[in-house]
């Protein structure tokens, strides 16, 4: 098929998905011709083709004609510009969302999530490449994913990004100014990106979806202003305001300190979505009572990390108690448990998660501490060195709730390990770091071609459970439980 067929197919895709109306066909075709630097178009029969095939063919043609470089970043910049020609302006998207929200908040988010996929802002065909499985542990089934939807830059793209002029616009990946931005070699294009204004805690915020959707309807809620992350009473209020607006969604915040925080601490934001995480399914293993807050159900969650769960019908009272716990934790030191509120810098913070349980509101408050030592320079309450062959990165909000987002390198490494184990080959190169782990597994299992994939996946899931235990400030021991209760008694005083 020639380029005219693919141009016609892309326009047909826009009509079929509702991004454009039939009366927009000629206008959209001409917009695409301008982007493709073509002066003429021979009408062709419009065919229903997969979007990945359509864009791939147009990109290959653009590369062949020298109007697009042949690296992943340049190709992404170019095809996003093509999709931008099909994407309605913000006023139309916001009006549609508002009209659906007036009927039912879930109808509004269902439509917006589908829209964000249809515009190729969320690239369905890349998300489908992610590896996912569950592993049964003493804490319930944990979710494991090896993320393959975020493309790794090749050396040409890295060199081009380094050479690209530096710009302070947009200030970061979350700023509202990303909407419609053309992008550059060191900043993704967003012509096909639309954001939804919302109000929480009487302040202006926006709602969007993550382009990498680590779980269903993975949304990002971000401040309209470029202001740093902070966990305080106001943040707790904002979380409950959000689940009031969207009771079918949960929402949580990364912690506001390095090591235990997220990757973007410079712009206040939360993450949410329509998904039940393993931590939400975890039961209360010990009830707590806080004097003066008898109407609030409270307890310690049976989870590898240190979690206090609060539930109440009155959101104001819930915020009041959650803030009391936060403030106590900020200044709390227990040397016997190796918890220090401050040494050369503050160390204590929380990762809060909010959700609705029917008519009630619920908080999970995860206690965090980012202290480092010579033995653990990346953090005492961080994956320790013996687990870095699987997970070295920070334990953020998503992992805290029980979903491991593991690096893409593991897909190839696990496949190579299967071959090495079955053929009894030595582990060299990138596989050498796995040698101690593999040695233990060889003693524990009789590997066969039929069982090796399942065994490795189960072992990776078990390691993730240990990662979460390392991130917990109180050990899952009698001494650790006693220390945890000492803190809750401090809150009661």
The better pLDDT of the pair 98, 407 is held by 98
The arithmetic mean of pLDDT across residues 168-176, rounded, is: 94
Give the mean model confidence (pLDDT) for residues 363-374.
Answer: 97
Residues 59-99 pLDDT 10s: 999 999 999 999 999 999 999 999 999 999 999 999 999 99
- Residue 159's pLDDT band, with cuts at 50, 70 and 90, is low
Please tell me the predicted confidence (pLDDT) of residue 52: 97
* Confidence check: pLDDT of 166 > 70: no
Q: Residue 163 — pLDDT band, cuts 50, 70, 90? A: low
**What pLDDT was estimated at residue 147?**
87
Mean pLDDT value across the chain: 94
Q: pLDDT per residue over 214-266, tens digit each?
A: 999 999 999 999 999 999 999 999 999 999 999 999 999 999 999 998 778 89
Give residue-wise pLDDT tens across range 117-156.
999 999 999 999 999 999 999 999 999 999 887 765 455 5
pLDDT for 47 = 81
What residue has token string 């302070």? 168
- The answer to whether 492 touches 291, Cβ cutoff 8 Å, is yes
pTM to 2 decimal places: 0.94
E strands, 110-266, where? Answer: 131-137, 140-146, 196-200, 203-209, 219-223, 250-252
Cβ partners under 8 Å of residue 412, min gap 6? none
Cβ proximity of 233 and 319 under 8 Å: yes
pLDDT at res. 167: 72
Say if residue 316's pLDDT is above 90.
yes
Query: Residue 134: what pLDDT?
Result: 97
pLDDT beyond 60 at 347: yes
Strand partners, 405: 145
Question: Which H/E stretch holds residue 92?
Answer: helix 90-103
Which contacts qualify for 155-160: CB closer than 8 Å, 24 or more apart?
Answer: 156/69, 156/71, 157/71, 157/72, 157/73, 157/74, 157/185, 160/69, 160/71, 160/73, 160/74, 160/185
DSSP 8-state assignment for residue 256: S
pLDDT band, residue 329 (cuts 50/70/90)? very high
Q: Beta 196-200 vs 140-146: how paired, if at all?
A: unpaired
Q: Is 321 exposed, middle or buried (0-12, 13-18, 19+ CB in 10 A)?
A: buried
């Amino acid at each position: 098929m020639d380029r005219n067929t693919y141009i016609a197919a892309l326009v047909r895709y826009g009509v079929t998905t509702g991004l454009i109306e039939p009366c927009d066909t000629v206008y959209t075709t001409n917009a695409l011709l301008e982007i493709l630097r073509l002066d003429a178009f021979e009408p062709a029969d419009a065919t229903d083709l997969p979007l990945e095939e359509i864009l791939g063919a147009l990109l290959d043609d653009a590369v062949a004609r020298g109007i697009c470089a042949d690296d992943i970043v340049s190709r992404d910049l170019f095809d996003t510009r093509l999709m931008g020609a099909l994407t309605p302006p913000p006023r139309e998207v916001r009006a549609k969302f508002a009209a659906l929200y007036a009927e039912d908040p879930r109808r509004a988010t269902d439509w917006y999530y589908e829209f964000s996929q249809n515009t190729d802002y969320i690239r369905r065909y890349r998300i489908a490449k992610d590896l996912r499985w569950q592993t049964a542990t003493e804490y319930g089934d944990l979710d494991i994913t090896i993320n393959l939807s975020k493309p790794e830059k090749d050396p040409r793209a890295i060199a081009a990004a380094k050479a690209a002029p530096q710009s302070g616009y947009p200030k970061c990946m979350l700023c509202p100014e990303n909407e419609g931005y053309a992008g550059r070699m060191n900043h993704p294009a967003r012509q096909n990106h639309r954001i939804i204004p919302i109000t929480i805690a009487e302040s202006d915020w926006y709602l969007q979806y993550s382009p990498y959707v680590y779980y269903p309807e993975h949304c990002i809620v971000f401040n309209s202003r470029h202001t740093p992350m902070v966990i305080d009473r106001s943040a707790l209020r904002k979380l409950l305001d959000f689940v009031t607006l969207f009771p079918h969604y949960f929402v949580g915040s990364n912690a506001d300190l390095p090591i235990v925080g997220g990757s973007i601490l410079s712009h206040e934001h939360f993450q949410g979505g329509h998904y039940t995480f393993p931590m939400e399914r975890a039961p209360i293993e010990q009830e707590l009572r806080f004097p003066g807050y008898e109407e609030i159900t409270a307890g310690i969650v049976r989870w590898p990390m240190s979690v206090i769960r609060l539930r109440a019908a009155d959101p104001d009272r819930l915020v009041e108690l959650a803030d009391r716990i936060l403030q106590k934790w900020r200044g709390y030191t227990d040397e016997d448990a190796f918890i220090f509120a401050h040494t050369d810098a503050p160390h204590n913070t929380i990762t809060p998660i909010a959700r609705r349980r029917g008519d009630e509101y619920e908080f999970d408050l995860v206690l965090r501490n980012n202290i480092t030592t010579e033995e653990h320079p990346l953090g005492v309450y961080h994956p320790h060195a013996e687990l870095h062959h699987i997970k070295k990165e920070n334990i953020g909000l998503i992992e805290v709730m029980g979903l491991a987002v593991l690096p893409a390198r593991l897909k190839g490494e696990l496949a190579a390990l299967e071959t090495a184990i079955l053929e009894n080959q030595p582990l060299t190169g990138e596989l050498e770091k796995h040698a101690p782990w593999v040695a233990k597994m060889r003693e524990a299992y009789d590997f066969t071609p039929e069982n090796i994939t399942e065994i490795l996946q189960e072992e990776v899931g078990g390691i993730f459970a240990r990662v979460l235990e390392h991130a917990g400030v109180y050990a899952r021991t009698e001494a650790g439980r006693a220390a945890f209760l000492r803190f809750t008694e401090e809150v009661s005083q």
